[in-house]
Amino acid sequence: MRVLITGGSGLFGSKLAEVLAESDYHVYSGYLEHVPTHGEKIRIDITDEGNVERVFNRVRPDVVVHAAAFTNVDKCELEREIAYKVNVIGTRYVVNNARKYSSFLVYVSTDYVFDGSKGLYREKDEPNPVNYYGYTKLMGEYEVINNLSEYCIVRPSVIYGSTPASGKTNFVLWVIDKLSGGERIKIVVDQWISPTLNTNLSVMVKEVIERKLSGIFHLSGATRISRFDFVKAIAKVFDLEVELVIPISMDQLSWVAKRPRDSSLDVSKAMKVLRNKPLDVEASLNILKGELSPINY
Ligand SMILES: NC(=O)c1ccc[n+]([C@@H]2O[C@H](COP(=O)([O-])OP(=O)(O)OC[C@H]3O[C@@H](n4cnc5c(N)ncnc54)[C@H](OP(=O)(O)O)[C@@H]3O)[C@@H](O)[C@H]2O)c1
């Protein structure tokens, strides 16, 4: 099976490429600036319509996992034109070609399509983004829904993994780095998420591809947890000093973009349908520890 991953150099896409490449897949890892680590590397700029069509014509993918996005939430708020171009128009070009080349599309969306007033969102809950990033990702969902008959939209929440990707670290690696260096960190107690290990997400998306599951799936970790408690869990698993973690509230932070207070996801649909289930925080962090151990521990 030929699988094209847009965002193949990213935190999720790079792990998915690694997981798929271990099985009998021909993986094409799309990237813009950072050369991917796994799969056949293919440069693609999703904002360039002609370029997207040429890549599809060359690859002729059976499946496209569209994970490329402008993911910096604060920058999306400030650079709205670019955010719209990448997350909405770029998605439109990918969707149009998926239709033209009869490729099954998996679109990676986000928990940030929800406003965070309720938490534990189900697939049928009404999206209502509170920032521009969430708005563009939701518009991306509509591009998919309105133009394809067969697709899967997956929504993770706060992805983390063992390797920096796309030129940046991720939340868990940042926490480990700070605490192991003896630095104090301020973490919010009043924001709730469903942290998602990229390996767990990749295995679930692999199953989605294999079974051509369609519709919307919340594919995050199985635990609703505050940022603060998540950091405490990280400290426990990695044997780091929890006293270095200082509790603060969201209103003490000067984020450019508003954040949803509780964007945690209800994963009961995935728990019921998938053989590869969303994992809880402890299991995920222990897998991460195993992935890091040959290098750092
Ligand atoms: N990270 C999270 O916590 C999180 C949570 C929920 C949902 N999501 C969603 O999950 C997906 C993957 O996120 P991630 O964290 O893995 O992303 P990431 O690490 O920030 O990587 C973004 C990817 O998009 C590519 N990209 C950006 N602009 C592009 C363009 N114009 N054309 C082609 N490729 C472009 C980047 O390529 P280069 O690196 O080569 O420039 C990179 O591969 C995204 O759709 C995101 O919205 C992420």
SS (H, E, C) 186-234: EEECCCEECCEEHHHHHHHHHHHHHHCCCEEEECCCCCCEEHHHHHHHH
Q: Indicate the CATH number for domain 2-162+196-222+264-279.
A: 3.40.50.720
Mean pLDDT of 58-86: 98
Is 161 near ligand 1, meaning CB less than 6 Å away?
no
Structure tokens at 179: 């605490």
Choose among 139, 41, 125: nearest CA to 92. 139
- Confirm if 30 and 20 have CB atoms less than 8 A apart: no
The Cα–Cα gap between 132 and 124 comes to 22
User: What was the pLDDT predicted at 293?
Assistant: 86
* Domain parsing of the chain, residue ranges: 2-162+196-222+264-279
Q: How confident is the model over 196-250, as pLDDT tens digits?
A: 999 999 999 999 999 999 999 999 999 999 999 999 999 999 999 999 999 999 9
Candidate of 9, 47, 71 to mutate for ligand 1, largest count of ligand atoms within 8 Å of Cβ? 71
The Cα–Cα gap between 120 and 126 comes to 12
Mean pLDDT of 109-118: 98
- pLDDT above 70 coverage of the chain, percent: 99
User: What was the pLDDT predicted at 295?
Assistant: 52
Residue 297 has pLDDT above 60, yes or no: no
Q: Is the dihedral of CA 75, 126, 201, 197 positive or negative?
A: positive
Cα 256 to ligand 1 centroid, rounded to whole Å: 20
- pLDDT above 90 coverage of the chain, percent: 98
Is 157 near ligand 1, meaning CB less than 6 Å away?
yes
CA 172 to chain centre: 14
Structure tokens at 26: 């021909």
